Each structure stands twice: as C-alpha cells, then as structure tokens.
Amino acid sequence: MARTLRSADDLIAAGLAEEAARPALEAVAARYAIALTPAMAALAAREPAVARQYLPDAAELRTAPHELDDPTADAPFTPVPGVVHRYPDRALLKPLLACPVYCRFCFRREHVGPDGGLLDEAALERALGWFAASPGVREAILTGGDPLILSPRRLAHILSRLAALPHIEVLRIHTRVPVADPARVTPALLEALALDKPLFLCVHANHAGEFTPEAAAALRALHGAGAVLLGQSVLLRGVNDTPEALEALLRAMLRHRVKPYYLHALDPAPGTARFAVPDAEGLALLEALRGRLSGTALPHFVRERPLGGGKRPVGFDMPVDGAR
C-alpha cells in the first residue's frame, strides 16, 4: 500500500531524487518537514511544476536578509494559543499545525510538522471560549496546518461548537486536502461539514495539474455537500508564473466548481527566495489575462503587509515590490 513520503530515503526510493542529492535532502529534512502523499508523489513524478512545490532543495537552508520566521506576524495577534485575531470581524483558529503535504514555500514552515501544534483538550476549550466571548467576530476561519486531516469526529465537534455561537455567521476552512490527499474526502468527513450556517472551503492549488480525476471527485463531493468552494494560490517562480500556466490554473479551478479567490504574493519565509516573483510581474501577468478570462476566473492579487498589517491588493495603498 502506498504511503506518504517523509524522508530522503523515501524520495530516493520513489525515484523523485538522485542518491547524490542525499546530503542536501537530509540537511533540509533536519530543519523542515517533508511530506508527499501518494497522490502528490505520483503527480510530482510526471509534472515538474508540482515536484518543485514539494521536493526539498538545498536553497532552503539559505535565509535572505528580508526573510522572516513569522512573515505574517501571527504572534502579536494571538490572544490565546491557536487563535489569531488580526481583523475586527473574523479570526483564525489553528487546531493543529500538521499537513498532508509540506510546501517548500510555506509561510509557517518554522512551525508546521507532523508532530507539532495539535491543540489539546484544554487549549481547544480555551480557544473556543475566546470565540464565544468575542461577539464582534462574525467569521471563524479554520487553518493551520490543514484542518481536514483532523478526525471527522474532532472536526465536527469544533465546527458545531463554532456554528452554535449566535454571532458566528460564516465558517471557513483553508485546506490542501481535496487536491493533495483526495482520499480523505470520505462520507464521514462530508458529514462533519454538514452545518446550518454557510461554510466556505478555500482550496489551495497552484498548478492546473493538481486537478486530477481523484481531486475532481473530491471537489464534486464537497460541493454536493453544500460547501462553497473558493480557490487560493501562491504566485510561484517556476510553477505558475507565465500567462499560460496561470490561465490554465484559473480555468481548471472554474471547471471544478472552485471560484478563484486569492492569488498570494509569496510571503518571505526563510529559504523561499527561489519561488519569489516581483509584484510588478504578477500585476502584468493578471493584466495579460484580463479579457482572455471572465471576471469569475480572476482572483484578488494580494500581499501581506509588514508587521501583521493584513492582506492588501497589490498596488493598492502600498508600494509595488519590484525587487523580490
């Protein structure tokens, strides 16, 4: 039975890396988590743009002067463990910091990993209590890590507790699961997502190739269960930084019932410089697609402002970054 690849040995045995790369792979693995699900390992073997997102590289051990351990500045906006409250009407709940796959450009890469960040019962109760005591918060956003790798029972418990709060009007989940590990979209998971309040599922995908037949079936099931599907992507050098690649990604999202929502400029996490695309180039890419794609296919191009200032459309009330 195929299993998730988590080490240099696994990557080499799967034919995704050469033996000569072992020292570099092991050095990266000592600092940052590695994981490729069977679905993503199979896709990485035939699609270089997908492999680039997940295969470790020695460049990850070089931190550029502008890169930060906490590039989105979560820490100053954390009233209790597991909660980030940056905007008045919405807050993040991070019930765990583990993922089915680990992206090499992750902005939380200093914190995520297979053995980290799961809120215990006491911490979860404290976090849920914070939401209960915060009537100005109307939207609860589950992120992490990836909330859809929680057991359906635990996920249902969290969602039902939040949905029962009168002031919570909308729930949102940010996830890679439907494309990275579609086998997890089971009837039990779909049942856990059945709520009386609106649920938005923000699906992270960066390349059209990620929309495999298995991913398509998972997305169709999630849509059928009542979730509104939104798409979020990161603009990445060598992955989706051409008009053709970006157009293919956005069209693939629409074909699979996913409304493109955010195109993120890369957050400057340590060791991620090889993925950076200047903001001016990103704006030019979207301008090249305007008119070729309908408005339904065009996402908001956003960058996190420094020091936890939140997301802003690139070019709006902030300088365009032409250097990184």
> What confidence tens digit (pLDDT) does each residue in 183-212 have?
999 999 999 999 999 999 999 999 999 999
Question: Is residue 62, in this structure, part of any structural domain at all?
Answer: no
pLDDT of residue 295: 94
Question: Is residue 213, in this structure, part of any structural domain at all?
Answer: yes
Question: Is residue 324, in this structure, part of any structural domain at all?
Answer: no
Question: Is residue 202, in this structure, part of any structural domain at all?
Answer: yes
Domain count, the chain: 1
Model confidence band, residue 322 (pLDDT cutoffs 50, 70, 90): very low
Q: Which residues contact 97 (CB under 8 A, 6 or more apart)?
A: 108, 111, 112, 113, 116, 117, 118, 144, 145
User: Quick one: 168 exposed, middle or buried, by C-beta within 10 A (0-12, 13-18, 19+)?
Assistant: buried
Range of the domain at 287: 68-313
Question: Is residue 164, in this structure, part of any structural domain at all?
Answer: yes
Given a cut of 80, whether residue 315 has pLDDT beyond it is no
Report for 117-121, 130-134, 291-295, 320-324: range of highest mean pLDDT: 130-134
Contact 289, 262 (CB under 8 A): no
Give the residue among 119, 193, 131, 132 at the shortest CA–CA distance from 160.
193
Cα–Cα distance between 102 and 37 in angstroms, integer? 10
pLDDT of residue 316: 59
pLDDT of residue 306: 73
**Residue 164, both tokens:** 């029962």
Q: Averaged over 296-304, what is the pLDDT?
A: 95
**Residue 44, both tokens:** 């990485």
Question: Is residue 13, in this structure, part of any structural domain at all?
Answer: no
Contact 128, 100 (CB under 8 A): no
Upstream peptide bond of 315 is cis (omega within 30 degrees of 0): no
**Residue 30, both tokens:** 């000592």
Within 10 angstroms of residue 234's Cβ, the number of other Cβ atoms is: 23
Q: Averaged over 66-90, what is the pLDDT?
A: 93
Q: Indicate which CATH number applies to the domain containing 88.
A: 3.20.20.70
> What confidence tens digit (pLDDT) does each residue in 236-274 have?
999 999 999 999 999 999 999 999 999 999 999 999 999
Question: Is residue 283, in this structure, part of any structural domain at all?
Answer: yes
> Within the chain, where are the H helices?
8-13, 22-29, 38-44, 48-54, 121-132, 152-163, 177-180, 187-192, 213-224, 243-255, 279-289
pLDDT of residue 155: 98
Question: Is residue 31, in this structure, part of any structural domain at all?
Answer: no
pLDDT of residue 321: 52
> What confidence tens digit (pLDDT) does each residue in 144-176 have?
999 999 999 999 999 999 999 999 999 999 999
Contact 273, 321 (CB under 8 A): no
